[in-house]
A and B are shown apart, each in its own frame.
Chain A
Amino acid sequence: MNIVVCVKQVPDTATERKLRADDKTLDRDAADGVLNELDEYAVEEALRLKEAHGGEVTVLTMGPDKAAETIRKALAMGADKAVHLIDDALHGSDTLSTSYALAQALGTTGFDLVILGSESTDARTGVLAAMLAERLGVPQLTLARKVEVNGSSITVERVTDYGYDQVEGTLPAVVSVVEKINTPRYPSFKGIMAAKKKPVTKLTLADAGIDAGQVGLGAAWSEVAEFAAAPPRAAGTIVKDEGDGGVKAAEFLASKKFV
């Protein structure tokens, strides 16, 4: 099985994240870049499926030079090889552009299964997997908390408001996984050493057949008009419990008409 895992380098959520003042895009230099946490589950799921069914796991990412660190992390976890879509013209791409560019890159890798994390911790749009399925014209088996492949058929448990849906499709397909579908492995020392020798193919727009007019900030279908640091919330009333804390809390709720 040819499994491609799409991963994204995101700013560490533990640090302060910013938008750039000049073009209102994510400031990737302001914080350390890490593998998007939800993508770790995607990489792990890909590795488990490979271990069960054979095949190969390719990591696909789109991003600047720095994203190579994230590729290495996924390779150290055990992926076989990587494709790094890298081109200055991709800077500022929105979800429509990104899904287009990744779909083009997937055209160069081929795939039986594309796996993504359900969202990135920076943009948090949660739309990319659905968009990829739309662009590729393959089944969308997203928000999976369980994935099972049997020959060319695939079944997932899709998380819903009320529980989950059991969903069936056939390969090739796009899957996104939710947190806790598995426990992502830590890269071993051996894995980290081996990752350095694994092949990483760099793709430019031309290599992937991407139309430059469809990507980048200038082509985006939406724009950030303005942004500002959220004003601090007005200081609240903090009281120490003197045995009547619950009563005081109830009084506060009553004053706000919640009770």
Chain B
Amino acid sequence: MTEILVLVEHVDGEVKKVTLELLTLARSLGEPSAVWAGPGYTPEAKARLAEYGAEKIYVAGAEEITDYVVAPKAELLAQLVAAASPAAVLVAATPEGKEIAGRLAIKTDSGVITDAVGLGEGFVADQSIFGGGVNVKSRVTKGTPIVAVRPNSTPPQPSAGAGAEEQVTVALSDAARGAKVVNRVKQEKGARPELTEAAIVVSGGRGVGSAENFSLIEKLADSLGAAVGASRAATDAQWYPHQFQVGQTGKTVSPQLYIAVGISGAIQHRAGMQTAKTIMAINKDPEAPIFELADFGIVGDLFQVVPQLTEEIEKRK
């Protein structure tokens, strides 16, 4: 079997769901090796990676790998690519994951594919481009395929791997120490899942009408254990913080379920959510383009429908 490197996304020592998805995906194409970059590796993390099929776990636990922006992780992966000659390298298609992929591509003289929503035999990647209007199959033609895969592309499934640990040290170049992280500021996000990783996203748009009314969206989201998103109209109006904007110039989400509330569904928004598996829309305008995408749509007043829906979900728990 061929080795496939999977860069682990972790926060506070916890392996993120997208990594379990990538390990699952890698198992269908070869033997996954997890690559842990930076401090925070624990026996729990090891168990989690092995549970999802990591045959090997490369651990580069040095602090300096996360002390500088992106470049050290690319150097670590380049070193492993040179040593192990893997068949491919998978990273999560987060903004940082893609940057790592980009630098790694140059270091290893390899092609890179970003925002894959699927990956098949021969590492042919599925991409959805132009706001979801065109489906593309693409592949790397030189070097080691480096593929950044969107969260929620594959349901994570456990299947035990050996989890053989191998400690790795990297001698960072001076160039990799150019941009130093001097402070990490964690903003309160509460108990909700991260927007780009969440299996369910509930977003509010212009129809929500005010910042206060976003509590309706939040309550619905919380009843489903979902993340909250917002359309550009809503973030431009400062009803909800900009980092939650879903769309062409904001975050791209690809959840199992996307609920659009009071969102008309302009291309700007569709570009960020069109690859969601199931889409529900609640809007008072029957002509809203969001209904063209919706698997289930309610034409009605969101101030009636949303509280009733939230209550009904709570009842069914």
List residues of A whose CB falls within 8 A of some B CB: 13-14, 16-19, 37-38, 94-96, 99, 118, 121-131, 133-135, 137-143, 155, 157-170, 173, 179-180, 220-230, 232-234, 236-241, 243-250, 252-254, 256, 258-259
Q: List 23 A-B contacts (CB under 8 A).
A: A17-B134, A19-B134, A99-B102, A126-B98, A127-B102, A130-B100, A138-B175, A155-B182, A160-B96, A162-B184, A179-B250, A221-B140, A225-B138, A229-B134, A230-B128, A233-B292, A236-B297, A238-B297, A248-B298, A250-B312, A252-B280, A253-B257, A258-B257
Closest A residue to B128 using CB positions: A230
When the two chains form their complex, are residues A222 and B134 in contact, meaning their CB atoms are under 8 A apart?
no
In the complex, B194 has a CB within 8 A of chain A: yes
Partner of A259, one of B103, B175, B224: B224
- Report whether over half of chain A's contact residues are helix, strand or loop; otherwise say mixed: mixed
When the two chains form their complex, are residues B187 and A220 in contact, meaning their CB atoms are under 8 A apart?
no
Q: When chains A and B are docked, how far (Å) is the Cα of A126 from the Cα of B306? A: 36
Q: When chains A and B are docked, how far (Å) is the Cα of A14 from the Cα of B131? A: 10
Most buried by A among B103, B113, B286, B291: B103
When the two chains form their complex, are residues B186 and A166 in contact, meaning their CB atoms are under 8 A apart?
no
Residues of A within 8 A of B278 (CB): 256, 258
When the two chains form their complex, are residues B141 and A223 in contact, meaning their CB atoms are under 8 A apart?
yes
List residues of B whose CB falls within 8 A of some A CB: 11, 69-71, 74, 94-96, 98-103, 105-107, 109-115, 124, 128-143, 175, 178-187, 189, 194, 196, 200, 224, 242-243, 245, 248-250, 252, 256-257, 267-268, 271, 274, 278-280, 282, 286, 291-301, 304-313, 316-317
Q: Give A179 Cβ to nearest chain B Cβ, in Å.
A: 5
Q: When chains A and B are docked, how far (Å) is the Cα of A165 from the Cα of B135? A: 35
Q: A161-B194, A222-B139, A236-B279 are in contact. List 10 more A-B contacts (CB 8 A).
A: A126-B98, A134-B71, A157-B185, A161-B11, A168-B179, A236-B294, A246-B309, A247-B308, A249-B298, A249-B305
Q: Give A131 Cβ to nearest chain B Cβ, in Å.
A: 5
Residues of A within 8 A of B179 (CB): 139-141, 167-169, 173
Q: Give A7 Cβ to nearest chain B Cβ, in Å.
A: 15
Q: When chains A and B are docked, how far (Å) is the Cα of A154 from the Cα of B215? A: 39
Q: Give A228 Cβ to nearest chain B Cβ, in Å.
A: 6
When the two chains form their complex, are residues B69 and A180 in contact, meaning their CB atoms are under 8 A apart?
no
When the two chains form their complex, are residues B309 and A250 in contact, meaning their CB atoms are under 8 A apart?
yes
Residues of A within 8 A of B95 (CB): 118, 126, 143, 159
Closest A residue to B12 using CB positions: A162
Residues of B within 8 A of A252 (CB): 280, 295-296
Residues of B within 8 A of A244 (CB): 308
Residues of A within 8 A of B111 (CB): 94, 96, 220-222
When the two chains form their complex, are residues A169 and B180 in contact, meaning their CB atoms are under 8 A apart?
yes
Q: When chains A and B are docked, how far (Å) is the Cα of A118 from the Cα of B282? A: 32
When A127-B101, A135-B106, A238-B286 are in contact, do A222 and B138 touch as well, CB less than 8 Å? yes
Residues of A within 8 A of B137 (CB): 224-227
When A127-B99, A239-B297, A246-B305 are in contact, do A38 and B134 touch as well, CB less than 8 Å? no
Closest B residue to A14 using CB positions: B267
When A127-B112, A259-B313 are in contact, do A140 and B141 touch as well, CB less than 8 Å? no
Q: Give A71 Cβ to nearest chain B Cβ, in Å.
A: 22
Residues of A within 8 A of B267 (CB): 13-14
When A239-B299, A249-B298 are in contact, do A95 and B102 touch as well, CB less than 8 Å? yes
Closest B residue to A156 using CB positions: B179
Closest B residue to A180 using CB positions: B242
When the two chains form their complex, are residues B135 and A166 in contact, meaning their CB atoms are under 8 A apart?
no
Residues of B within 8 A of A137 (CB): 175
Q: When chains A and B are docked, how far (Å) is the Cα of A133 from the Cα of B173? A: 14
Most buried by B among A17, A94, A143, A222: A222
When the two chains form their complex, are residues A241 and B180 in contact, meaning their CB atoms are under 8 A apart?
no
Q: Give A136 Cβ to nearest chain B Cβ, in Å.
A: 9
Q: When chains A and B are docked, how far (Å) is the Cα of A237 from the Cα of B175? A: 56
Q: Give B122 Cβ to nearest chain A Cβ, in Å.
A: 9
When the two chains form their complex, are residues A250 and B242 in contact, meaning their CB atoms are under 8 A apart?
no
Q: When chains A and B are docked, how far (Å) is the Cα of A45 from the Cα of B30? A: 45
Closest A residue to B297 using CB positions: A238
When the two chains form their complex, are residues A162 and B187 in contact, meaning their CB atoms are under 8 A apart?
yes
Most buried by A among B200, B278, B286: B278
When the two chains form their complex, are residues A239 and B178 in contact, meaning their CB atoms are under 8 A apart?
no
Q: Give B198 Cβ to nearest chain A Cβ, in Å.
A: 12
Closest B residue to A125 using CB positions: B114
When A221-B110, A250-B312 are in contact, do A167 and B71 touch as well, CB less than 8 Å? no
